[in-house]
């Protein structure tokens, strides 16, 4: 059904590529994936091999009114993310209100931090797809299900990776020691307010793999964030900030979780052949919009390779910590079935995503 | 500050949040004034424009416009002195109207303008407000007469403009200090002119037939109480940056067809005085300035397109061998 052309007679009817792709997208992609010359691995329709990721480009700090911002390009997918910090007064805070405060730097409890950040809603990520980025999302209407899914996935990943520290988001006040008898007594610090981080992700253009691009932009923007030094002013009884850039600090993130998305392309047997043969499937890294429209299932693996930074100096697949695996539930089958046996393909995916991570970390550091 | 709850998005804490207030601006009266930016350009010198087409491959046409901030970000303070202008536009269509729609003999144009939440000094919401709807109508007026709509009966085209960063209505110190400012809304005129220019570029990029290329321009009359010369007390400037002027008396934004000498959209604000024509003429001059950039960018994009096409034609033989075909 699909071969390279040289040896065969010219077919009676032939279409240009674009029409072939539009008329029968599934065979079009399968034809690409099965056509292999001995010298070269089969290429996808976009010219990449099945395992190849697009090289991301990251630019940070381009927006004026944000504490941190990033523009991420993943091929033709481009995203702008702006992080803005605003102050939530402690008396206005709802939901949380527990008196837990991380005291010293050494005393670090990621779980408690995350619960508190979640309860107080100190992270407000949002995604906007209706910017003319694709023909599917019409502006002026409420966020579509895919936009809502994207928002929820990003929020849950932000929380489950324990990326942010509560200590970074507290505005504390140490009242002067009143007790004249014991001047050495450390006055107890009060939490006067919290920083709320608004993470707004705007898609300029979507060409597949929206989640990776959105997360990467959020991560790069969070790394770029400079929060001004804020303090409680007794005289005015309000929170004031210092506008001196030297006083501002950046966030200390826990790790550097990087996602890699794979689409599962289910091959079909020849149309004339009868009977159930074994299906041939491909796992395509970093799918573009065309591939996403053809594939019914996708898997997202989030790995963190930053742990090995201290020990060996070089990050690699060996240091990878698997943070999360997500699978789209578009068909009712057990996950991993199409990917093959978990032991081989699971490893393959982690290795493969580590390759993506290398690319993405490189881009982040360059920015 | 309990805004209507949006269940489809992640909402801010219900207690409401406040933008940070910087200590020195509150405590040292002189410090605030020392941050005030001022215009360094000549009165008839517009700001530089960066324009690019084809940024959204899945759209039929798209463009991105940026007018960088004139004052470089200062190293000594975290407060940005002025804003820059960053606008993206994309055109979807022309595509057939849904079957349920009534017959339309010409192309139906829908224009949407949306500010990003981080576009201005005060955070904006996700739901479109009246300003955005108003701007959308203005841009639509500017574009409608330009397209030759009769060539696409029963079809619709959607122009989506996203303002990633907008010009401010005035210097933030004035706006926040007095509360009143001087009428306000001056920045919107700049945003409108930018929207017109970038939407026009996107429409040409989409290959929709137009009678001419429309471009936007702004002029303003400012009062400068410190000027010694009486002539300079009230003067007309092109492409005003509202943050750089203490008092704007009047301003005007136009959508202008240069080769036909026609105005498709006009928005005048403030007290124009005895010479409204002078102000409008100034705005058209500014529009001609952005048109020259527009033309150059579109020519470059066209040249690049033809170059890749000829390269494809040359490399076509090699490409054919890599192509795969479906037979039988």
Q: Which residue has the higher pLDDT, B292 or B7?
A: B292
Q: What pLDDT is stored for residue B160 in this prediction?
A: 93
A338 pLDDT higher than 70: no
A342 pLDDT higher than 60: no
Q: C-alpha distances in angstroms, B95 versus A295, B6, B60, B107, B157?
A: 26, 31, 10, 9, 6
Please enumerate in sequence order all residues whose Cβ is within 8 A of that of A115, keeping only pairs 6 or more positions apart, or say none: none
B89–A206: do the CB atoms touch at under 8 Å?
no
The reply to whether B107 falls in a domain is yes
User: Which of A119-123, A291-295, B175-179 is least confident?
Assistant: B175-179
Q: What pLDDT is stored for residue B2 in this prediction?
A: 40
pLDDT in tens, A17-35: 778 888 888 888 888 887 7
ipTM of the complex, rounded to two decimals: 0.85
pLDDT in tens, B48-73: 999 999 888 888 999 999 998 776 66
> Count of CB atoms within 10 A of residue B140's CB?
17
A240–B117: do the CB atoms touch at under 8 Å?
no
Cβ distance A329 to A359 under 8 Å? no
Q: Which of B17, B89, B241 to mutate to test the interface with A (most CBs of A within 10 A)?
A: B17
Place domain A56-176+185-254 in its CATH homologous superfamily: GHMP Kinase, N-terminal domain (3.30.230.70)
Write the residue in A11, A142, A196 that is nearest to B12 by C-beta.
A196
B20–A228: do the CB atoms touch at under 8 Å?
yes
Q: Taking phi first (over 0 means left), then psi (-120 to 50 degrees means alpha), and beta for anything else, what does residue A252 get?
A: beta
Q: In chain A, which among 294-333 make CB contacts under 8 A with chain B?
A: none
Q: What pLDDT is stored for residue B199 in this prediction?
A: 95
A31–B91: do the CB atoms touch at under 8 Å?
no
pLDDT in tens, A188-234: 778 888 999 999 999 999 888 889 999 999 999 999 999 999 888 88
* A145 inside 8 A of chain B by CB: no
Q: What pLDDT is stored for residue A81 in this prediction?
A: 94
Lookup result for tokens 């942010």:
A164
pLDDT in tens, B254-288: 999 999 999 999 999 888 888 889 899 999 999 99
If pLDDT is split at 50, 70 and 90, which confidence band does A343 have? very low
For residue B12, the chain A residues in CB contact (below 8 A) are 121, 124, 196, 198
Distance from CA of B248 to the nearest CA of A (A): 23
Please enumerate in sequence order all residues whose Cβ is within 8 A of that of A91, keeping only pairs 6 or more positions apart, or say none: B15
For residue B84, the chain A residues in CB contact (below 8 A) are 64
If pLDDT is split at 50, 70 and 90, which confidence band does B138 have? very high
If pLDDT is split at 50, 70 and 90, which confidence band does A10 have? low
User: Using CA atoms, how far apart are residues A304 and A87, in angstroms rounded to an integer?
Assistant: 30
pTM exceeds 0.95 for this model: no
Cβ distance B25 to B173 under 8 Å? yes
CATH number at residue B280: 3.30.230.70
Write the residue in B57, B69, B114 that is nearest to A64 by C-beta.
B69
State which residues form the domain around B153.
Answer: 36-327
If pLDDT is split at 50, 70 and 90, which confidence band does A5 have? very low
A334 pLDDT higher than 80: no
The reply to whether B288 falls in a domain is yes
The pLDDT > 70 percentage for chain A reads: 69
For residue A133, the chain B residues in CB contact (below 8 A) are 56, 58-59, 90
pLDDT in tens, B191-243: 999 999 999 999 999 999 999 999 999 999 988 777 667 666 788 889 888 88
For residue B127, the chain A residues in CB contact (below 8 A) are none
B90–A66: do the CB atoms touch at under 8 Å?
no
Query: What's the per-residue H, E or C state across chain B?
Result: CCCCCCCCCCCCCCCCCECCCEHHHHHCHHHHHHCCCCCCCCCCCCCCCEEEECCCCCCCEEEEEEECCCCCCCCCCCCCCCCCEEEEEEEEEEEECCCCCCCCCCCEEEEEEEECCCCCCCCCCCCCCHHHHHHHHHHHHHHHCCECHHHCCCEEEEEEEEEEECCCCCCHHHHHHHCCCCCCCHHHHHHHHHHHHHHHHHHHHHCCCECCCEEEEEEEEEECCCCCCHHHHEEEEECCCHHHCCEEEEEEEEEEECCCCEEEEEEEEECCCCCHHHHHHHHHHHHHHHHHHHHHHHHHHHHHHHHHHHHHHHCHHHHHHHCCEECC
B113 pLDDT higher than 80: yes
* A241 inside 8 A of chain B by CB: yes
pLDDT in tens, A206-217: 888 889 999 999
The reply to whether B318 falls in a domain is yes
Q: What pLDDT is stored for residue B87 in this prediction?
A: 94
Q: What pLDDT is stored for residue B308 in this prediction?
A: 85
**Total domains in the fold of chain B:** 1
In which residue ranges of chain A is CATH 3.30.230.70 found?
56-176+185-254
Which DSSP symbol is given to A10?
Answer: P
For residue A148, the chain B residues in CB contact (below 8 A) are 8-9
Residue of chain B nearest A152, judged by CA positions: B10
Work out the mean pLDDT of chain A and round it to a whole number: 76
The packing angle between helices B276-314 and B186-206, to 10°, is 30
User: Average pLDDT for residues B27-36, to the nearest whole number?
Assistant: 77
The reply to whether B26 falls in a domain is no
Q: What pLDDT is stored for residue B141 in this prediction?
A: 93
Residues forming a β-bridge with B257: B214, B262
User: Average pLDDT for residues B152-163, to the nearest whole number?
Assistant: 92
């Amino acid at each position: 059904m699909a071969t390279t052309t040289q040896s065969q007679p010219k077919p009676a009817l032939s279409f240009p590529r674009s029409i072939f792709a539009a008329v029968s997208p599934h065979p079009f992609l399968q034809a690409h994936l099965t056509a292999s010359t001995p010298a070269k691995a089969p290429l996808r329709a976009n010219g990449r091999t099945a395992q190849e990721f697009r090289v991301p480009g990251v630019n940070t700090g381009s927006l004026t009114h944000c504490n941190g911002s990033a523009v991420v390009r993943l091929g033709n997918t481009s995203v702008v993310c702006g992080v803005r910090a605003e102050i939530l007064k402690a008396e206005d805070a709802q939901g949380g209100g527990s008196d837990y405060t991380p005291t010293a730097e050494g005393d670090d409890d990621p779980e408690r931090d995350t619960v508190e950040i979640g309860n107080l809603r100190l992270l407000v990520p949002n995604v906007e797809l209706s910017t003319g980025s694709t023909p599917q999302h019409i502006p002026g209407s409420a966020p579509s299900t895919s936009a809502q899914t994207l928002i929820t996935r990003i929020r849950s990943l932000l929380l489950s990776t324990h990326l942010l520290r509560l200590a970074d988001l507290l505005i504390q006040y140490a009242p002067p020691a009143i007790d004249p008898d014991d001047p050495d007594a450390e006055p107890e610090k009060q939490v006067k307010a919290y920083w709320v981080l608004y993470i707004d992700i705007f898609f300029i253009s979507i060409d597949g793999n929206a989640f990776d691009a959105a997360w990467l932009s959020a991560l790069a923007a969070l790394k770029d964030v400079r929060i001004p030094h804020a303090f409680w002013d007794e005289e005015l009884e309000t929170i004031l900030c210092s506008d001196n850039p030297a006083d501002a600090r950046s966030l200390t993130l826990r790790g550097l979780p990087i996602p890699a998305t794979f689409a599962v392309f289910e091959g079909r047997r020849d149309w004339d052949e009868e009977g159930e043969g074994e299906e041939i499937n491909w796992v395509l890294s970093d799918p573009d919009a065309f591939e996403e429209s053809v594939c019914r299932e996708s898997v997202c693996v989030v790995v963190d390779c930053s742990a090995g930074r201290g020990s060996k100096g070089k990050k690699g697949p060996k240091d990878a910590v698997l943070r999360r695996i997500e699978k789209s539930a578009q068909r009712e089958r057990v996950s991993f079935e199409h990917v093959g046996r978990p032991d081989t393909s699971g490893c393959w995916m982690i290795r493969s995503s580590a390759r993506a991570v290398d690319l993405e970390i490189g881009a982040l550091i360059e920015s | 500050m309990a805004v209507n709850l949006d269940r489809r998005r992640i909402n801010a804490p219900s207690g409401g949040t406040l933008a940070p207030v910087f200590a020195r601006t509150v405590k040292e009266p002189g410090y605030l004034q020392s941050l005030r930016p001022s215009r360094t350009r000549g009165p008839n010198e517009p700001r530089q424009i960066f324009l690019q087409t084809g940024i959204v491959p899945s759209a039929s046409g798209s463009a991105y416009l940026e007018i960088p901030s004139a004052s470089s970000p200062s190293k000594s303070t975290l407060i940005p002195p002025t804003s820059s202008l960053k606008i993206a536009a994309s055109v979807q269509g022309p595509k057939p109207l849904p079957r349920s729609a009534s017959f339309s003999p010409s192309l139906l144009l829908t224009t949407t303008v949306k500010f990003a939440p981080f576009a201005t000094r005060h955070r904006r919401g996700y739901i479109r407000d009246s300003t955005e709807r108003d701007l959308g109508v203005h841009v639509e007026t500017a574009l409608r007469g330009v397209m030759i709509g009769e060539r696409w009966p029963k079809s619709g085209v959607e122009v989506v403009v996203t303002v990633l960063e907008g010009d401010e209505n005035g210097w933030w110190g004035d706006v926040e200090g007095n509360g009143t400012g001087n009428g306000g809304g001056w920045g919107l005129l700049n945003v409108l002119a930018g929207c017109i220019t970038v939407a026009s570029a996107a429409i040409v990029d989409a290959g929709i037939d137009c009678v001419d290329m429309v471009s936007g321009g702004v002029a303003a009359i400012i009062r400068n109480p410190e000027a010694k010369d009486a002539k300079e007390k009230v003067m007309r400037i092109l492409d005003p940056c509202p943050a750089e002027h203490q008092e704007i008396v009047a301003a005007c934004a136009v959508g202008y067809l240069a080769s036909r000498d026609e105005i498709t959209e006009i928005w005048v604000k403030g007290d124009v005085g005895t010479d409204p024509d002078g102000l409008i003429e100034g705005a058209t001059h500014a529009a001609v300035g952005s048109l020259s950039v527009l033309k150059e960018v579109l020519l470059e994009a066209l040249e690049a397109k033809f170059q890749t096409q000829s390269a494809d034609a040359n490399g076509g033989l090699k490409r054919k061998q890599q192509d795969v075909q479906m037979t039988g």
